[in-house]
Structure 1
Amino acid sequence: MPTPNRRAPRADGRPLVLGHRGASADAPENTLAAFRLALAQGADGVELDVWRCRTGEVVVVHDEDTGRVAGARFRVDATPLAELRALDVGAWKGERFRGARISTLPEVLEALPGAVVNVELKSRGRDLRLAEAVARDVRRAGAGGRVIASSFDYRLVAAFRLAAPEVPVGLLFEPGHRWRLRTALAARLLGAAAVHPDASLVTPARAEAWRARGLAVNAWTVDAPDEVARLTGLGAAALITNVPGRTRAQVRALTGR
């Protein structure tokens, strides 16, 4: 079995603030505009979603098809990069974002030097080559020290773990049947550095237990001020938020950092 990963990215004395798909309350999600705005608002980094398109590139988009953000429905894993590039994924969020395009993971890593990047691996089936492609892109960018890879599909986490043992991994989960046993086993077997729970699952007892096992607690999606305060008090390592500017300001007020 793999040896445990190195520590997940952290900040001293406060949780990291990561823009959920960038500053997605204000800009079109998973675009360079949203990522740059998140950093301009004070975020430590971003959370983003990746698929492998038909021509093999790792592209940054959340849904399995482009209908919601582009108005035209193309299945991401069945569409070549050139056709995905032709889509406008910004106009739905406002005229000022018209012309925003789908980016590749290497482009985002290059555009955000020094930023923490949580890469969520997504796949319709068992596309383990996605994990290998992400590992390649992170390594070529020299970004291993600021990336954490996560997924709800622990097969993808395992594949990434083998492809890039030097990069930490996190386990995503939400309320549902048997998440406790499934996640506990996967954390041990995969040498996870972090758990990425839905914020509602982070109780004082669970937060303490996860931290006692050396796991960073990276909670999502944390927008409400009372949740920011609660999770900061529980020692969360990262808050993944749609409103990074407001969340970062509140964390600074709560911690002095």
Structure 2
Amino acid sequence: MSKPTIFAHRGASAVQFENTMRAFEKALDQGADGIELDVQVTEDGVPIVIHDADLVRLAGVRQMIASLTSAEIANIRVGKKYMRLVNGHRIPTLLGAVAFCERHHLALNVELKETVSQRPEFVEKIVGSVSYLDHIHISSFDYHLLEKVKEVNASMETGYLLRKNSVDWDVLEQYLSADGFHIHKKLLREPYLQSLIRTGKKIRVYGMTGKEAIVASSPSYIAGWITDFPDRFRGSKE
């Protein structure tokens, strides 16, 4: 029986700044099977790897991603406050992150964020840039984006990120464009769990620390754990 795939959430973000190449490199060092990352789209349509739609939290800049070109983004550094000027990180492009995953044979979970919802015409570009990877799926809280992904490439695997009150849990089967469901670990309980299992689709769980009892003997219905601490899951993969 195969073990769940261990995805490093925004890279090894417990020890390196989130969604940076350094975080992805550390995830590789810590034994992650794959990378989970977030994608926003710049003003000139370049997919970049960053969680927020604005730069306030990550770069201390009061600018929206959608209002900046990729050239302008390239000059911005993200990182911890007071450290950005001397030890800031470049914001990766999706193409750069994909190349890293291909080079190191890592699985990739691409989460589409707000700026993609606002400009769904760029889904085709994003799908095209990741489709040659062997182990790739695209996830989002926005189900309409997953429908768009399937329109572009019916064989591209998708994962629908669920919130407690975002769906009717009794009819999860109706989400035909979702090949799997991603949930926070708080929803890894009834009545949600049986509804998920009944679909027969892949279940991936985020918010995992590696200290949960369930990790020691992962149930067969779990396809993946998404965690800031991939090193804590090494024993569960043996």
TM-score normalised by the chain length of structure 2: 0.88
Say which of 128, 135, 149 aligns to 2:138.
Answer: 149
**Residues 67 and 182 of structure 1: CA distance in aligned 2, closer, same or farther (over 3 Å):** farther
Matched with 2:7 is: 18
Matched with 2:160 is: 171
Q: Once the two structures are superposed, what CA deviation does each residue of 1:146-188 show, in whole Å capped at 9, x if it has no partner? A: 11001000111111111122210010012225452574422x3
Does residue 129 (structure 1) correspond to residue 121 (structure 2)? The answer is yes
Q: Once the two structures are superposed, what CA deviation does each residue of 1:100-127 show, in whole Å capped at 9, x if it has no partner? A: 1011111101012211110001124532
More divergent stretch after superposition (217-226 vs 21-30): 217-226
1:182-197 correspondence runs (5 A): 183-186=172-175, 188=176, 190=177, 192-197=178-183
SS of match in other structure, 2:19:
coil
Matched with 2:200 is: 214
One-letter amino acid of the counterpart of residue 112, structure 2: L
Q: Once the two structures are superposed, what CA deviation does each residue of 1:85-104 show, in whole Å capped at 9, x if it has no partner? A: 11111354968981310111
Highest RCO, 1 vs 2 (Cα 8 Å, sep ≥ 6): 1
Aligned length: 235
**Residues 128 and 95 of structure 1: CA distance in aligned 2, closer, same or farther (over 3 Å):** closer
Counterparts of 2:216 and 2:227 in 1: how far apart (Å)?
A: 14
One-letter amino acid of the counterpart of residue 128, structure 1: P
Return the offset for 1:233. 3.4
* Structure 2 contact 10–37 (Cα < 8 Å) conserved: yes
SS of match in other structure, 1:49:
strand
* Structure 1 contact 121–130 (Cα < 8 Å) conserved: no
Say which of 169, 185, 207 aligns to 1:180.
Answer: 169
Return the offset for 1:200. 1.3
1:29-44 correspondence runs (5 A): 29-44=18-33
Matched with 1:158 is: 147
Say which of 91, 99, 102 aligns to 2:88.
Answer: 99
Could you tell me which runs of 5 or more consecutive residues in structure 2 were left unpaired when the two chains were aligned.
none
Does residue 251 (structure 1) correspond to residue 236 (structure 2)? The answer is yes
Could you tell me which runs of 5 or more consecutive residues in structure 1 were left unpaired when the two chains were aligned.
1-11
* Structure 1 contact 207–235 (Cα < 8 Å) conserved: no
RMSD in angstroms over aligned alpha carbons? 2.5
Matched with 1:4 is: none
Return the offset for 1:36. 1.1
